[in-house]
Amino acid sequence: SQQGEEDPQALSIQEGENATMNCSYKTSINNLQWYRQNSGRGLVHLILIRSNEREKHSGRLRVTLDTSKKSSSLLITASRAADTASYFCATDENDMRFGAGTRLTVKP
C-alpha cells in the first residue's frame, strides 16, 4: 500500500464548519508536507512540518504531527466553498510520493 496515506478518502461539510483530515506513515520522517489540489490544477504547497515540531499554523490551517503515532492532521477552520479540493500529504519517508488524498467538499 502507498505510504503517506490520507484519511478519510472523502469528506463533505457545510461552509463554516471545521474540516479535519489525517495522514499516516510507517517508519520515521524528517518532514511532512500538505498540499492542496483544486480540480484540474496542479498541487499547491500548504505547510511543511518537521519531525521536531508538533504544531504549525498558517491562516485558517493548523497542522499537527504526532511522531509516536506516526500521524499528522490538517485542520481547516471556518471552511469556505473555495476550500473544496483534494488534500495530499507527502513525507521524505516515502520519497515524497503522494497518497490518494482526501477529497473535501464544502457546501455553501
Partner 1 sequence: DAGVIQSPRHEVTEMGQEVTLRCKPISGHDYLFWYRQTMMRGLELLIYFNNNVPIDDSGMPEDRFSAKMPNASFSTLKIQPSEPRDSAVYFCASSFGQRYNEQFFGPGTRLTVL
45 vs 54 by CB, closer to partner 1: 45
> What's the burial of 25, exposed, middle or buried (CB within 10 Å: 0-12/13-18/19+)?
buried
CB of 24 to partner 1, least distance (A): 16
Question: Which residue from 88, 89, 104, 106 is in contact with partner 1, where contact means CB under 8 A?
Answer: 88
By the 8 A CB rule, do 7 and 59 touch?
no
81 vs 96 by CB, closer to partner 1: 96
Cα separation of 19 and 75, whole Å? 6
Bridge-based pairing state of the strands 85-91 and 10-14: unpaired
Q: According to CB under 8 A, which residues from 16 to 75 bind partner 1?
A: 30-31, 33, 35, 40-45, 48
Q: In the complex, which residues of this chain contact partner 1 (CB under 8 A)?
A: 2, 30-31, 33, 35, 40-45, 48, 88, 92, 95-101
